[in-house]
Amino acid sequence: MLRFPNAKINLGLNIVEKRSDGFHNIETIFYPIPLTDGLEIADSNKETIYNFSSSGIPIKIDDKDNIVCKAFDLLYRKYNIPSTNIHLHKNIPFGAGLGGGSSDAAFMIKMLNEKYKLELSFDEMKNLAGQLGSDCPFFIANKPVFAEGKGDVFSEILIDLSGYHILLVKPNIHISTPEAYSSVTPSQPNKSLKELITEPIQNWKNLIFNDFENSIFPNHPKLENIKNDLYNMGAVYASMSGSGSSLFGIFKEEPMCPEIWSEYFCWKSRL
């Protein structure tokens, strides 16, 4: 069985308040995009619980710490799942705010449910995914949502960017979660993203922002330069996704990836 777990972008991200548990309440909009990994599972005749292999972007962690293997193990402990061969072709860059790992894990749950006829309901799969990460449940339905709380409380939202083009850029910059939150001042927005996203897309530039840019851009001016470049290239909306370090522009016409970004991960597609 072969599936293609896709990435997401954040359309706006407001850090609303710090919680008593040390996390932050946010509001954002998750929007799926057609940048994908490849995930394959097959029967195994070995005695091990699973056999994991990977290709594409190197994965520099032990198999047991890989979220795909954690997803398999979660279901293995709950249901009668036989030994399985798992292969992940990694194409979605790490540390990019694109949810690639979360998508891989959610797709693993859906694939195991289908292959081994576990008959899990949609809500049961979402609950299992939620044990692996805040944004994992998003990829079970894989439709645009308004997310709040820790980014794990979803409500459906009507937004359709089909017909537009996206250009995604990730330079060789790593941003840790503590760094991303280091200079952020939580605040209640004057208007919720849920309301602002209904404005025409040409108005988003002056209405919809990612609060992480305030703390990250001063330390990494290259990222701010890329965002400005995307607008100079004709993007109707540009932003950093999540806590970075990828940036995206949404265009009416197909954009080109400039030669100056040849050393970066650069991807474009029609939405």
pLDDT at residue 29, as a whole number: 97
Closest C-alpha to 175, from 206, 120, 219: 219
DSSP, collapsed to helix, strand or coil, labels residue 220 as: coil
pLDDT at residue 256, as a whole number: 93
Interatomic CA distance for residues 241 and 98, integer angstroms: 7
All residue ranges of the chain with pLDDT < 70 are none
pLDDT at residue 23, as a whole number: 81
pLDDT at residue 55, as a whole number: 98
Interatomic CA distance for residues 52 and 49, integer angstroms: 10
Q: Determine the number of helices (DSSP H) and then strands (DSSP E) in the chain.
A: 8, 12
Closest C-alpha to 122, from 156, 87, 148, 150: 156
| Radius of gyration over every alpha carbon of the chain, rounded to an integer in angstroms | 19
pLDDT at residue 120, as a whole number: 97
pTM, two decimal places: 0.95
By annotation, the residues acting in catalysis are 8, 135
Tens-place pLDDT, residues 151-183: 889 999 999 999 999 999 999 998 887 888 877
pLDDT at residue 226, as a whole number: 97
Closest C-alpha to 140, from 170, 94, 107: 107
Interatomic CA distance for residues 35 and 104, integer angstroms: 12
Range 205-209, long-range pairs (CB < 8 A, 24+ positions): 205/231, 205/236, 205/237, 205/238, 208/11, 208/12, 208/237, 208/239, 209/12, 209/13, 209/14, 209/239
| Token reading at 269 | 């597609």
pLDDT at residue 99, as a whole number: 96
Interatomic CA distance for residues 237 and 232, integer angstroms: 11
Interatomic CA distance for residues 148 and 141, integer angstroms: 17
Taking each helix axis from N to C end, the angle separating 100-115 and 122-130, rounded to the nearest 10 degrees, works out to 140
| Residue position matching structure tokens 């645009």 | 144
